[in-house]
A and B are shown apart, each in its own frame.
Chain A
């Protein structure tokens, strides 16, 4: 308590009044001692210390705190505090650590990248399954052209090219060869299946084909199939039960069985359907990416979760001191006191008080609630020490404080 000025020990009016109330001080004015009532009436006014502020002062002093007046000019700027106080260094260190944890982590494991790369290949899903399941097998070569597989499976032929066939099988070969417009009926011509593994279709040699099918005077004799068959790999593929099931489904797959395909009336629509499917598969549907307004982020590009959240966020988080330095001083909200913890708890010396425990701002319940502007101003004036608002209600004092709070983001990079 008290200060020295001009070589004399002086007391502030609220301190003098408090000591008078405790019975430790007698104040004389013109050689006559003052009563407490005189003290109240002379020391407390709206210009110096108001009655409400004195109530808060007395309340805190009776609890044991050290309460000093707040002097805004004696507060160091935030930059000066950064240079001197060790606490601010810790906070900077903590901020750095937080920044480091937000940076994107090194990318995923090799298997994950491998599977993503495979997904980007232009192959049908069934082929991908086959690739995976055949890793142990040397028999199947990757990738096999789909046409060869499908032709090997065909029992009956596809019918769409048959629509172009106009000719009938009864045509005389003599007529047909000259005219050129005669098409052959491929369903009646037997093409031998040399790759067939079933025994009954296995003749030792082939009969010569119908001379009408051959051009000119070409004469073909019997053909020995054996050396040809040796060149063909006819070993049975060893498949597990799963693989056999998958084989069965694949044999039955027909692109024309798909309802969407059947809905296409011409090639252009079918190509559109293929493009749509490709876009969906790859994550870049055409109807989203072909316009002026495109999605914020291409899902095929890798990005850390934290960065993605920041990219799509509409409301950016802000902290209390943002923009506070630009605010001009307001008259109504002022910090009155610095409150320090007593010497038993913290080191308090009049020459070196240290950091206050909190700063007090006094108002009453009739006053309006402080708006964001007032709170920002008070927080800026106070620096890093919380501002407590003491609301005086005719004898009761309630303390309120506003704390800065950042919503946690559930991101584990």
Chain B
């Protein structure tokens, strides 16, 4: 979370070395991704997730949200399978210890000094602009301004209350507790069995074919299937996972077909079959013309 400060800019300074495992931390038993490099890595794997938090620049709107990124259970399962997810420790070591507090105080002091220097420069520039604005000779107001400028260097104080502080979004961004470059051990025992429920099988198969998938609860299905990145495409399919031996009521099929045709998407009935193959049936509403 970055407050608008004139000093620090949070660039992707962690770009130098992308950790091989994505740090996932649990909040209320939901997998969340906080660090910037982790988010980039997740997107690079083709997993979309959902952003939950307020966007730091414009916090009071719901159109675009910011970190954390919530992973679908299928996405977390896929990362786990690829040995690409790691559990982040849930607290900074030695929280409240004297060393951390000292580090924090030092950081604060450094930031304060930087900001006061910049504040003085800002004030001088403002006065100069006010002076050069009145170009018509030396008026009495001009004289006053020049005198103020000279006095500025001596008795300018930058109050502590005017200092901008930075709220870090990820714990890794805390100045006194940097986890940015922590090398994380991927979790899960080697050779862990992939989840065998229908949804996970379908997710894995479609992802393997290059589609991007997000959750489709409000469309009445299991997944929304995009031909590419969701930022560039509209969804083409609504995937509904049905197991092969489950009998489906015709009214449910009609209902989901209606839903799909209303939003101009094809409904995919996906059933994982034996030997890891998934059987797909598409439903499209065709009018009799």
Interface of A toward B, CB cutoff 8 Å: 18, 20-23, 26, 29-33, 35-38, 40-41, 44-46, 50-51, 55, 58-59, 62-64, 364-365, 391, 393-396, 398
Interface of B toward A, CB cutoff 8 Å: 1, 3-4, 25-30, 32, 34, 49-54, 56, 59-62, 65, 67-68, 70, 72, 90-91, 95-96, 100-101, 104, 165, 167-171, 173-174, 176, 214-215, 217-218
Q: Is the CB of B68 within 8 A of A395?
A: no
Give the chain B neighbours of A51 by CB distance below 8 A.
Answer: 27-28, 30, 52
Contacts A46-B28, A51-B28; is A21 near B70 (CB within 8 Å)?
A: no
Give the chain A neighbours of B56 by CB distance below 8 A.
Answer: 23
Q: How far is the CA of A41 from the CA of B53 in the complex (A)?
A: 13
Give the chain A neighbours of B30 by CB distance below 8 A.
Answer: 51
Q: Is the CB of A59 within 8 A of B50?
A: no
Contact of A396 among B26, B29, B217 (CB under 8 A): B217
Contacts A51-B30, A394-B70; is A36 near B62 (CB within 8 Å)?
A: no
Q: Is the CB of B167 within 8 A of A32?
A: no
Contacts A35-B171, A36-B1, A62-B61; is A396 near B70 (CB within 8 Å)?
A: no
Contact of A37 among B29, B34, B100 (CB under 8 A): B34
Contact of B168 among A35, A41, A58 (CB under 8 A): A35
Q: Is the CB of B96 within 8 A of A365?
A: no
Tell me how far the C-beta of A196 lies from the nearest C-beta in chain B, rounded to whole angstroms. Answer: 81
Give the chain A neighbours of B104 by CB distance below 8 A.
Answer: 31-33
Q: Is the CB of B96 within 8 A of A35?
A: no
Q: How far is the CA of A398 from the CA of B219 in the complex (A)?
A: 11
Q: Is the CB of A35 within 8 A of B169?
A: yes
Give the chain B neighbours of A35 by CB distance below 8 A.
Answer: 1, 167-171, 173-174
Contact of A398 among B32, B91, B218 (CB under 8 A): B218
A396 nearest in chain B by CB position: B218
Q: How far is the CA of A41 from the CA of B167 in the complex (A)?
A: 16
Q: How far is the CA of A38 from the CA of B51 in the complex (A)?
A: 17
Q: Is the CB of A23 within 8 A of B167?
A: yes
Q: Is the interface of A mostly helix, strand, loop or mixed?
A: mixed
Give the chain B neighbours of A37 by CB distance below 8 A.
Answer: 25, 32, 34, 68, 168-171
Tell me how far the C-beta of B113 lies from the nearest C-beta in chain A, rounded to whole angstroms. Answer: 19
Q: Is the CB of A55 within 8 A of B217?
A: no
Q: How far is the CA of A32 from the CA of B97 in the complex (A)?
A: 10
Q: Is the CB of B59 within 8 A of A21?
A: yes
Tell me how far the C-beta of B52 lies from the nearest C-beta in chain A, rounded to whole angstroms. Answer: 6
Q: How far is the CA of A43 from the CA of B70 in the complex (A)?
A: 17
Q: How far is the CA of A284 from the CA of B50 in the complex (A)?
A: 73
Tell me how far the C-beta of A274 lies from the nearest C-beta in chain B, rounded to whole angstroms. Answer: 57
Q: Is the CB of A29 within 8 A of B96?
A: yes
Give the chain B neighbours of A32 by CB distance below 8 A.
Answer: 95-96, 100-101, 104, 176
Q: Is the CB of B70 within 8 A of A62?
A: no
A22, A46, A394 — most chain B CB neighbours (10 Å): A394
Give the chain A neighbours of B90 by CB distance below 8 A.
Answer: 41
A33, A36, A40 — most chain B CB neighbours (10 Å): A36
A60 nearest in chain B by CB position: B62
A38 nearest in chain B by CB position: B171
Contact of B32 among A23, A40, A396 (CB under 8 A): A40
Q: How far is the CA of A55 from the CA of B65 in the complex (A)?
A: 11
Give the chain B neighbours of A396 by CB distance below 8 A.
Answer: 50, 215, 217-218
Give the chain B neighbours of A38 by CB distance below 8 A.
Answer: 91, 171
Q: How far is the CA of A398 from the CA of B220 in the complex (A)?
A: 12
Tell me how far the C-beta of B58 lies from the nearest C-beta in chain A, rounded to whole angstroms. Answer: 10
Q: Is the CB of B217 within 8 A of A50?
A: no
B35 nearest in chain A by CB position: A37
Contact of A393 among B32, B67, B96, B218 (CB under 8 A): B218
Give the chain B neighbours of A50 by CB distance below 8 A.
Answer: 28
Q: Is the CB of A393 within 8 A of B215?
A: yes
Q: Is the CB of B59 within 8 A of A23?
A: yes
Tell me how far the C-beta of B252 lies from the nearest C-beta in chain A, rounded to whole angstroms. Answer: 14
Q: How far is the CA of A32 from the CA of B108 in the complex (A)?
A: 11
Tell me how far the C-beta of A93 lies from the nearest C-beta in chain B, rounded to whole angstroms. Answer: 40
Q: How far is the CA of A36 from the CA of B173 in the complex (A)?
A: 10
24 A–B contacts from the bound complex (CB under 8 Å): A20-B1, A21-B1, A21-B54, A22-B59, A23-B56, A26-B165, A30-B96, A31-B96, A32-B101, A33-B167, A35-B171, A35-B173, A36-B1, A37-B168, A40-B27, A41-B26, A45-B28, A50-B28, A51-B52, A55-B52, A58-B53, A394-B217, A395-B215, A398-B217
Contact of A59 among B3, B62, B68 (CB under 8 A): B62
Give the chain A neighbours of B49 by CB distance below 8 A.
Answer: 395
Contact of A391 among B4, B59, B217 (CB under 8 A): B217
Q: How far is the CA of A125 from the CA of B72 in the complex (A)?
A: 83
Give the chain A neighbours of B95 by CB distance below 8 A.
Answer: 29-30, 32
Contacts A41-B25, A391-B217; is A36 near B168 (CB within 8 Å)?
A: yes
Give the chain A neighbours of B100 by CB distance below 8 A.
Answer: 32
Give me the 8 closest cross-chain CB pairs, A-B, nearest first.
Answer: A395-B50, A393-B217, A30-B96, A365-B217, A21-B54, A51-B28, A22-B59, A35-B168
A398 nearest in chain B by CB position: B218
Give the chain B neighbours of A20 by CB distance below 8 A.
Answer: 1, 167
Q: Beyond the given A23-B167, A37-B68, please list 6 additional residue pairs across the A-B interface where CB-CB is below 8 A.
A: A30-B95, A32-B104, A41-B90, A45-B28, A59-B62, A398-B217
Contact of B54 among A33, A62, A364, A398 (CB under 8 A): A62
Tell me how far the C-beta of A16 lies from the nearest C-beta in chain B, rounded to whole angstroms. Answer: 12
Q: How far is the CA of A181 from the CA of B268 in the complex (A)?
A: 105
Give the chain B neighbours of A33 by CB distance below 8 A.
Answer: 104, 165, 167, 174
Q: Is the CB of A394 within 8 A of B72?
A: yes
Tell me how far the C-beta of A167 lies from the nearest C-beta in chain B, rounded to whole angstroms. Answer: 87
Q: How far is the CA of A33 from the CA of B56 in the complex (A)?
A: 17
Q: How far is the CA of A396 from the CA of B48 in the complex (A)?
A: 14
Q: How far is the CA of A64 from the CA of B60 in the complex (A)?
A: 8
Q: Is the CB of B169 within 8 A of A36?
A: yes
